């Protein structure tokens, strides 16, 4: 039995945990979940106090994607009857930023389906970003897929603060989830945005029939990539996708995964992301002891918890919104 509190202290002193210690976190006995959460919280509090970052997504282009990702309702192979539309107009993207500001989100995430942006799509997003930056005090995160040479630099010049491109799973498990692009394609895009001096955001999806060793490899891969922001998604298996019907996760295991990512990536913004409502269920508040960030509002093709419930959750925890206005609205 590992002393998680001593391990947390060591991490704060610069120690990098081993794969064996990582497995011990994922294998933690359920009755020991509170000591594990407390130890992860010690690290989280050191870097972020009791503040929670709020992020809001806008899905600017939905469906009709050429990729065959098995988890995604927007995939070319999905038969899920999601709403499909081409890139929305600039005014709608800017209007979404107004909504993000009203919800006290610090980061506005502009997302588009597809392998990567065309030059026309990129210029469209750039125009919206410039207008948003002139009107609102928001960080902008773009998630547009695999970038071509020079595109990251254009986004940086326009004012994009962060670029999201998830590794999603381990390198060993990647081919069982998608074959239309490689794991290395994803890593290369993360490295491109880092070279352009954009903050790298890269995360994972847990619950896609991966092993615990795969989860550990994801944590160490993001450590190596020096991801500043790590969205941890929990599979919400959609009808009509390759992973339809997959239901492997328990709320306690989800908490252990979040603790692992806090121990392996102590300074990163760890965000409880898609699937938190259906997988963590009544234990959602406990997720913010290892994590320090959530999405507020809806996700890409699924609905999220209503904002009022998130605000109440933060208030009940005694946490603050990490924003210029730190008061939690209820």
Nearest C-alpha neighbor of 271 from the set 250, 252, 257, 251: 257
Query: 186 labelled as ligand-binding?
Result: no
Burial of residue 191 (number of CB atoms within 10 Å: 0-12, 13-18, 19+): middle
Helix axes 33-48, 251-264, angle to 10 degrees: 40
Query: Please, what is the Cα angle at 227 between 224 and 231, to 5 degrees?
Result: 125
Query: 259 labelled as ligand-binding?
Result: no
Query: 201 labelled as ligand-binding?
Result: yes
Query: 69 labelled as ligand-binding?
Result: yes
Query: 141 labelled as ligand-binding?
Result: yes
Query: 281 labelled as ligand-binding?
Result: no
The position carrying tokens 């098995």 is 70
Which 8-state DSSP code applies to residue 267?
A: T
Q: Helix, strand, or coil here: 44? A: helix
Query: 271 labelled as ligand-binding?
Result: yes
Q: Torsion angle of alpha carbons 20, 23, 28, 33, nearest 10°?
A: 110
d(CA 79, CA 301): 13
User: What residues form the annotated binding site for [2Fe-2S] cluster?
Assistant: 109, 141, 201, 271
Residues annotated in the binding site for [4Fe-4S] cluster, as ranges?
A: 65, 69, 72
Q: Which residue ranges make up the annotated binding site? A: 65, 69, 72, 109, 141, 201, 271
């Amino acid at each position: 039995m590992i002393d998680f509190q001593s391990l947390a202290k060591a991490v704060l002193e610069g120690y990098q945990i081993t794969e064996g210690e990582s497995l011990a976190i994922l294998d933690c006995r359920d009755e020991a979940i509170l000591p594990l959460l407390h130890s992860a919280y010690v690290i989280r509090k050191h870097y972020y106090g009791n503040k929670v970052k709020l992020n809001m997504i806008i899905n600017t282009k939905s469906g009709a994607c050429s990729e065959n990702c098995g988890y995604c309702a927007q995939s070319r192979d999905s038969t899920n009857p999601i709403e499909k539309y081409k890139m929305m107009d600039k005014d709608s993207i800017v209007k979404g930023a107004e909504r993000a500001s009203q919800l006290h989100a610090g980061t506005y995430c502009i997302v588009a389906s597809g392998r990567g942006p065309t030059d026309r799509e990129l210029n469209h997003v750039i125009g919206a970003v410039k207008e948003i930056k002139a009107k609102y005090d928001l960080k902008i995160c773009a998630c547009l897929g695999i970038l071509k040479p020079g595109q990251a630099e254009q986004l940086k010049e326009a004012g994009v603060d962060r670029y999201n491109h998830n590794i999603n799973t381990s390198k060993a498990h990647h081919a069982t989830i998608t074959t239309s692009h490689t794991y290395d394609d994803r890593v290369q895009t993360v490295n491109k945005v880092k070279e352009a001096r954009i903050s790298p955001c890269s995360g994972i999806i847990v619950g896609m029939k991966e092993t615990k060793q795969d989860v550990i490899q994801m944590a160490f891969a993001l450590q190596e990539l020096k991801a500043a922001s790590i969205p941890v998604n929990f599979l919400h298996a959609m009808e009509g996708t390759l992973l339809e019907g997959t239901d492997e996760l328990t709320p306690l295991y989800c908490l252990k995964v979040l603790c692992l990512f806090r121990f392996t990536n102590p300074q990163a913004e760890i965000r409880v992301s898609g699937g938190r409502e259906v997988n963590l269920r009544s234990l959602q508040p406990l997720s913010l002891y290892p994590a320090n960030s959530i999405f507020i509002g809806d996700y890409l093709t699924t609905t999220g918890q209503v904002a009022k419930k998130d605000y109440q959750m933060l208030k009940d925890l005694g946490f603050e919104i990490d924003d210029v206005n730190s008061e939690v609205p209820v």
